[in-house]
């Protein structure tokens, strides 16, 4: 995919807040080429630093609402939106709170999706905001409820753009979205090298058959789901 990059501010990313990475940028580029943002009522779930919400505002969204369960992330997002000179309604709370604000024209999300050992499993320590990337044993702690409820958040004719790793079962996301009445397909993908988190979990991923031995790459995908 090729897109004219939206100008992004020098984002503040204090300790405990997810710093924008390839998944954030892939989602932003997909938003831009989709043509879905301008004039739309946009919802950004698991906003983190606010980079996706800010980009939506810069693309001409009619309004942008963003949620994050982490209070530090919500404060960080507000600061970043102010520095960027855009208006974003950033709220501290679970994505479930967004159900009280629906319907939206476009829902975007870069949720936690990294698979990891069961609670208590011993893996090397990795610096960073674990809640922003830890998706549980199958990577789907957030993906499953988001996919099942996505249609409820949308008006008729609205769309979802969701980024995740192929390690968290893209087919399961597509099925859940389709079962909820949405038309879903993969619209963007990118192969990237493992970062610190997946590198630390590579041995467990190999032992459990989630990756071939020696594999140190993952595929990111963006799923688009449309409500008739």
pLDDT in tens, 121-174: 444 444 446 677 788 899 999 999 999 999 999 999 999 999 999 999 999 999
pLDDT value at residue 95: 87
What mean pLDDT, rounded, does the chain reach?
90
Share of the chain above pLDDT 90, in %: 76
CATH 3.40.50.150 fits 22-226, yes or no: yes
Show Cβ contacts of residue 97 under 8 Å, excluding neighbours closer than 6 positions: 67, 91
Res. 17 pLDDT band, cuts 50 70 90: confident
Residue 54: phi and psi, rounded to 5, are -65, -45
72-92: pLDDT as tens digits: 999 999 999 999 999 999 999
Share of the chain above pLDDT 70, in %: 90
Domain coordinates in residue numbering, the chain: 22-226
181-206: pLDDT as tens digits: 999 999 999 999 998 888 888 999 99
Q: Is the pTM of this model over 0.95?
A: no
pLDDT value at residue 3: 42
- Contacts from 27-30 at CB under 8 Å and sequence distance 24+? 27/52, 27/108, 27/110, 27/161, 27/163, 27/222, 28/52, 28/55, 29/1, 29/3, 29/5, 29/188, 30/1, 30/161, 30/163, 30/187, 30/188, 30/222, 30/224
């Amino acid at each position: 995919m090729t897109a004219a990059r939206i100008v992004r501010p020098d984002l503040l990313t204090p300790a405990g807040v997810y710093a924008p990475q390839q998944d954030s940028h892939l989602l932003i580029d997909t938003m831009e080429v989709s043509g879905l943002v301008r004039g739309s009522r946009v919802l950004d779930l698991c906003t983190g630093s606010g980079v996706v919400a800010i980009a939506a505002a810069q693309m001409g969204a009619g309004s942008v609402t963003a949620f994050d369960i982490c209070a530090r992330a919500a404060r960080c997002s507000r600061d970043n939106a102010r520095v960027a000179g855009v208006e974003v309604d950033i709220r501290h709370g679970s994505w479930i709170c967004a159900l009280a604000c629906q319907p939206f024209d476009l829902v975007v999300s870069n949720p936690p999706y990294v698979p990891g050992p069961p609670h208590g499993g011993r893996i090397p320590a990795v610096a960073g905001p674990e809640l922003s990337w830890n998706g549980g044993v199958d990577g789907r702690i957030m993906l499953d409820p988001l996919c099942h409820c996505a249609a409820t958040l949308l008006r008729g004719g609205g769309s979802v753009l969701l980024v995740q790793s192929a390690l968290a079962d893209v087919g399961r996301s597509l099925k859940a979205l389709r079962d909820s009445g949405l038309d879903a397909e993969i619209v963007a993908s990118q192969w990237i090298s493992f970062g610190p988190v997946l590198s630390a979990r590579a041995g467990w991923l190999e032992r459990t058959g989630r990756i071939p031995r020696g594999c140190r790459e993952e595929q990111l995908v963006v799923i688009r789901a449309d409500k008739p």
